[in-house]
A and B are shown apart, each in its own frame.
Chain A
Amino acid sequence: MARRFDAGYYISEGVHSIFTHGFMSFAAVCMIVACLIIMGSFSLLAVNLDNMLGDLENENEMVVYIDDSLTQDQARALQPNLAQVDNVSQLTFVTKEAAVTDFKAKRQEIADVLNDLPSDAFQDRYRVHVVDIERMAQTKAALEQVEGVSEVQAAIEIADGFVMVRNIATGVAMVLIGILLVVSLFIIANTIKLATFYRREEIAIMKMCGATDGFIEWPFVVEGMILGLTGALIAFFVQWGLYQLVAKLAVQGNGLSLVTMISYSSMATTILAVFCGVGAVIGVGGSLLAIRKFLQV
């Protein structure tokens, strides 16, 4: 008798086993749903935090002051040199007149004092946005080296603060997700192990008949995959509901719109793909962990 890959048999055995051990299957799906929602919530928190920090980072700009000895045309001509500096993403030239006007507009409460401010009281300047605020100090130093630049102002401490908060938030989220993933794997493994325990006699018989480990494992892999994907689908929709609820509460309690949340639908495809991937890995990994012990005959 030739060995062959009997997908129909594996699927039918896997599905049959899910219903034979209905309660255990239900428990496994519930565990997967719970684990995915916890992981998903942390991930979404991290993504939103990162997004909010990204917005704040974008608002964090440097100001490059041009030497007073240069004419406005010469100052404008510096733009290509400044743009060549590594990490510079956007440059906006601001004339000294525009700077004065802008300053007066922002200081309306002392308008009478500023009325006599001459139009050339300030220097020509560039507003500079960077790609990566982590490299702000190096960028500032490089800009200072450009001929015609008299001074560069950058809120390095604030930038470092953003970077630190983002790194801590990402690190904490990654560690928590990692721990939850491992915990989920073992919970699922133990849940499926109970189901496998009832079938140890069948496994022993199959082994004695000459079944390969692969033949014995495949129905469990199918079972784990179905449980994992079912859990992932349920978790996806529950997570959606929870996210909408949190988003609604955030808007209600946030009149100044300081907190902006990314819409779930814009991330739905990614979330579904990640949930299905993690669900399948947890389900299949848990099954294989559970069955390993019983294959040692």
Chain B
Amino acid sequence: MVRFIDVHKEYDNGTKALKGVNVRIDDGEFVFLVGPSGSGKSTLIKLITAEIAPTEGRVMVNGFNLNTITPRQVPLMRRTLGIIFQDFRLIEKKTVYENLAFSMRAIGASNRELRRRIPYVLQLVGLDKKGDRFPGQLSGGEQQRVAIARALVNNPSMIIADEPTGNLDPQRSLEIMMLLERINELGTTVLVVTHEKNLVNRFTKRVVAIENGRIMSDGTGGYYNGEKI
């Protein structure tokens, strides 16, 4: 569960990125966070991942109070999150399997846990036959599937996808979104940051629209930038 209570964020250069944001994402929800460039989407994600701290207000993520979280607790909080980036951020010199193993190793998983979990996750994202490939040998859509698998492999309670379809064609974008929808159906909370209006409107999901650091609309079933579709 993510909860923002009257959150403000002002950067050192004086930019006010968030101005009193109140939002709540419950466990098991699928939420689109939409808004134009510079609206505050990235700041909101960085606050959830504890890369930055709020200037004012309270942020709660999966049981952790990020206002009082200690540096030692930050890694524990991040283990409850799986993050997917627009540019995939895969390690080019490692195979698909090794990329996933690397992520599991980072939180101290044993070889036995690796052998049990990785094939399952690769099958879930439809890449069970491509564990020995390097990222450069895969298409963009497949690379994003690897990134999704990596986000899932540590069994997080929430997936945050930051513009996951930004580098993909419409067909591959739809496939990725459907995969995220399936992951959500399996019980994982999914937060997708995007500004692809058409894609958002193909799904009947909750849409939180942000602009100029303020939540402009929050509702289900095709709201985007305050316009009813």
Q: Residues of A with Cβ closer than 8 Å to B?
A: 1-4, 6, 9, 201-202, 204-212, 215-216, 297
Contact = CB atoms under 8 A, between A and B. Distances in A.
Given A4-B108, A211-B106, 14 more contacts: A1-B108, A1-B113, A2-B108, A3-B107, A6-B108, A201-B89, A205-B103, A205-B106, A209-B103, A209-B107, A210-B75, A210-B79, A211-B107, A297-B51
Nearest to B160: A208
A204 B88 CA distance: 13
B86 to A, nearest CB: 14
Given A205-B89, A205-B91, A210-B76, A1 B51 contact: no
Contacts of A210: 75-79, 81, 106-107, 154
B71 to A, nearest CB: 8
B91 A9 contact: no
A205 B81 CA distance: 12
Pairs A-B, 6 closest by C-beta atoms: A210-B79, A211-B106, A210-B78, A3-B108, A209-B106, A206-B106
Contacts of B108: 1-4, 6, 215
Contacts of B103: 205-206, 209
A208 B88 CA distance: 13
How many B residues touch the partner, as a band? Answer: 20 to 34
B154 A202 contact: no
B146 to A, nearest CB: 12
Contacts of B143: none
Interface residues of chain A: helix, strand, loop or mixed (majority): helix
Nearest to A2: B108
B107 A208 contact: no
A197 to B, nearest CB: 15
B43 interface: no
Contacts of A4: 108, 110
Nearest to B104: A1
A138 to B, nearest CB: 56
Interface in B54-108: 72, 75-79, 81, 83, 89, 91, 102-108
Contacts of B72: 212
B109 interface: yes
B17 to A, nearest CB: 18
B150 to A, nearest CB: 8
17 contacts: A3-B107, A3-B108, A9-B105, A202-B102, A204-B89, A205-B89, A205-B102, A206-B102, A208-B49, A209-B78, A209-B150, A210-B75, A210-B77, A210-B79, A210-B107, A211-B106, A216-B106
A54 B22 CA distance: 78
Contacts of A211: 75, 106-107
Given A210-B75, A297-B51, A215 B106 contact: yes
A205 B146 CA distance: 14
Contacts of A1: 104, 107-110, 113, 154
Contacts of B107: 1, 3, 209-211
A200 B126 CA distance: 29
Interface string B178-199: 0000000000000000000000
A192 B106 CA distance: 21
Which of the listed residues B75, B105, B150 has the most CB atoms from chain A within 10 Å of its own CB? B75
A251 B72 CA distance: 61
B171 to A, nearest CB: 28
A75 B108 CA distance: 81
Contacts of B79: 209-210
Contact of B154 (A6, A209, A212): A209
A1 B103 CA distance: 12
Contacts of B76: 210
Contact of A208 (B78, B91, B109, B110): B78
Contacts of B81: 208, 210
Nearest to B85: A208
A204 B89 CA distance: 9
Contacts of B89: 201, 204-205
A9 B110 CA distance: 10
Nearest to B106: A211
Contacts of B83: 208
Contacts of A202: 91, 102
A212 B51 CA distance: 14
Contact of A207 (B78, B104, B110, B113): B78
A14 to B, nearest CB: 14
Nearest to A204: B89
A84 B49 CA distance: 74
